Structure 1
Amino acid sequence: WSGKNCPAQLRAGYKGISWQDFLNKVEGVQEQENFGSGSTSTNTKPSTTSPKNTNSIVDYLNSKGVDSSYSNRAKLAKEYGIKDYKGTAPQNIKLLELIKKGKPTSTKAKKEYVTLPASAKTWRTYKLNVAPVTKNSDWSLTPAAFGGLTYEILDKPQANVVTIKTSRGKRNIYVGADTSAKIIMK
C-alpha cells in the first residue's frame, strides 16, 4: 500500500511461489498440493484433500460443510479459547488443531466479574473517554447501600481499570490492588 516492494521474494516468484499463488493461499482457495509447486494456477474449487490431511482451516471447514468465512472462524476461535482472533496463520493453525481434536470440554466460556464490597460507601466512576482520575469522576456507585455490588467486566481499557455497565450506561472504574475490589471468574 505504501509503494514499497516489501514482499520482494514473493513478487519475484522465490521458490516457485508466485504473488498470485500467495494471494490465493491467503484466501484459502488454492489446494495445498499446488502451493509452492511453481504452479501459477488460481484454482478456486474447494479442496479435495482429505479433511484429516489438510493444513488449511478454510479447506478443512469447507470439506466438513461448515461456513469458513472470517466471521465464523472468529466465532469458532472464541469457542475454542483463542483470544483476539485476527485470522493470522499461527491462529488458523492452532484453531485447526483444536477443531480436529474435537469440541472443547466446556462450550460456555467463563466471564470475569468485579465485586465492590459492602464496606465501600462510594466508588467513583468515569466516562469512557476520560482518564480515570479523581477530577474526572462525575458519578459514584454506592456498594454499601446494596450490600456490595457485582458487575460483569466488559473491557479492560488499561491496567487496573475495567469497563462495566451501570444504570448510567458503560462506565470505567479503577480496581487496583490498593482498592478492595475483587475480580472473579464465573
Structure 2
Amino acid sequence: VPKALGGTLAAAVAICVAAQLALASMQSSEQEAMGFSFGQVLELRGAAWARRTVAAAELVLEPLLVVLALLPQPELMAAMAEDGLLPAAFCRRSCDGSFRYGTFLVGGLTASIALAIPYDLLWDVIAVGVLLSLSLSNASLVNIRYGNGGRVRDPWAEGLVWVLLFSALGAGGCLQRGAVAPLIAGGSIHGPLTAVGAMLSAVLAC
C-alpha cells in the first residue's frame, strides 16, 4: 500500500508539474500575472477547438472528482464528531446505519461554497484548501508523536507546532507578495516583505 500510494502521488505530481509548465510556456509574463486559464491561453494561441475540448473535459471529469472527494467525508466527519471536534449531528446514523445526516451536511456546505465562489477562483481556493489540510495533518501527526493525541500532554510541543504553522503562513505570504508576484509582473522585489519572509523561513529551518 505505501508503494502504491507513493507511486500515485508521484504520478499526480509529475502530471501537475507538466501541466503547469505547459501552461507557463504558452503565455507571456503579463498573461501569467493575469491568471489566464488553460482554455483562455489556448484560444489566444489560435486553438479555439482546444478550449472547447478542455471545457468539455472539465464538465465530465470534475463531477467524478467531486464524488470521489465526498465519499470518505461522512466517515471522516463522524470520527471527528465522536472525538468532540465537530457537532454530534455529524456522527448520527440513519436507520440503515449510514451517516446520512453527515452526508447531507457536508454536501450542502460544499455546494454552498461552490455556488458562492466564482469558477475562475475555484482552483486557487482548492489549492489553498489542500495546502491547509496538509499542514493541519502534519501538525496533528507531530502532536500525536509527542503524546498530544486526544488531549494536550506536552504544552511546549503544542506551542511549537502553532509557531511553525504561523511561521509557514507568514513566510509564504511575505515571499509571495514581496518576491514572487513582483518578479512575475516584471517589477522589483519588495525588500521589507522579502526580508520578513526570509526570517520566518529561517525560523522554520531551525
TM-score range, shorter chain: under 0.3
- Which protein has the bigger helix share? 2
Q: Which has the larger radius of gyration?
A: 1
Q: Structure 2 length normalisation: TM-score?
A: 0.22
Structure in which a larger fraction of residues adopt strand: 1
TM-score computed with the length of structure 1 as normaliser: 0.23
